[in-house]
Amino acid sequence: MALPTDRVELNVIDSHTGGEPTRTIIGGSPELSTTNIADQIQELKQEHDWMRTALTHEPRGYEAMVGALLLQPQNPEAVARVVYFNNVGYLGMCGHGTIGVAATLSYLGNISPGEHLLETIAGDVVFTLHEDNRVSFVNVPSYRYRTNVPVATKNFGTLSGDIAYAGNWFYLCADHGLEVSLSNLAELDRCCREIRHTLDTEGIGGENGGIIDHVELIGPPSRDDANAKNYVDCPGGEYDRSPCGTGTSAKIACLAAAGKLEPGQTWGQESVTGSLFEGSFVWQGDKVIPRIMGEAFVTAETKVIIDPTDTLTFGFSQ
């Protein structure tokens, strides 16, 4: 990958969805020579990965930062095509990012309350901007793939969990015995790393070789309007500050498969930071179509300067 030799300026809007940041690139990104979204992601990886690292790594970003690159959609009905990325690579679907992108498009005056279509690598996603600035989105077909999957860990014993798909692959576990709270982040992180290690070394994955790159630990809620609280470990090893849109969808898919949530019934999912998403589902064959609602706020409108004479301009990570 050749790095730019001239100064680059990117126009970005930052937002947070339940505490989890989304940095949306609205201008200044390199022209892509491809039109298919899978090819565009390949081109970004091979030719322009510096843009991802410059925005998500220090000194401009941090491990929790998720980027969203807006591209011209192929479908004229779609409001945008979006490619999500984070500190380690490119994401399938991103729920909190979808809510953040919707809040950003609303802030820019590009959309009004109502239904809109976004193109993503995981499929088309319909979102609704509500009058009170909240956003709901209909996720891709989601399903529980395996249940009661044992995973041996060094310090937390043999745990049992479900494997589910909701735009990303998840291992969801409730019998970890840990308090899901901000004061217990180090232990939650350690447990997720040990689960991840076993999943990787034993080759435990999703259907058709899907890589489980999210681990979700579930515990009892702190809020009256929530049914459960989660800690979601993301691919870069950082935890989701929001309840995780795809993680909430994965949980709903597992509840539906277990007959513990009815179609149309609301599930309140609290995050480890105390923010809330509300979700429900309808059946589509043997899969569920989750609808997730949350809110996002714009936090900054920035011109990012990438100056190639600055040795740290493309970011560094630990």
Chain positions contacting ligand PYC, by CB under 6 A: 20, 66, 94-96, 234, 240, 242, 244-246
191 carries an active-site annotation: no
CB-nearer residue toward ligand PYC: 86 or 106: 86
55 φ, ψ (degrees, to nearest 5): -90, -25
Spot the catalytic one: 94, 191, 192, 234.
Answer: 94
264 contact partners, CB below 8 Å, separation of at least 6: 280, 281, 282
Q: Closest by alpha carbon to 151, among 162, 135, 141?
A: 162
Least CB distance from residue 277 to ligand PYC, whole Å?
A: 8
Angle, helix 95-107 to helix 245-257, in steps of 10 degrees: 130
254 carries an active-site annotation: no
In the 8-state DSSP scheme, what is residue 86? Answer: -
Is-contact 18 299, C-beta < 8 A?
A: no
CB-nearer residue toward ligand PYC: 129 or 244: 244
Least CB distance from residue 312 to ligand PYC, whole Å?
A: 25
CB-nearer residue toward ligand PYC: 8 or 61: 61
CB-nearer residue toward ligand PYC: 94 or 174: 94
Amino acid identity, position 25: I
Spot the catalytic one: 173, 234, 244, 254.
Answer: 244
Least CB distance from residue 314 to ligand PYC, whole Å?
A: 22
Least CB distance from residue 66 to ligand PYC, whole Å?
A: 6
Alpha helices in the chain (DSSP H): 37-47, 49-56, 95-107, 185-201, 245-257
The residues that are catalytic are 94, 244
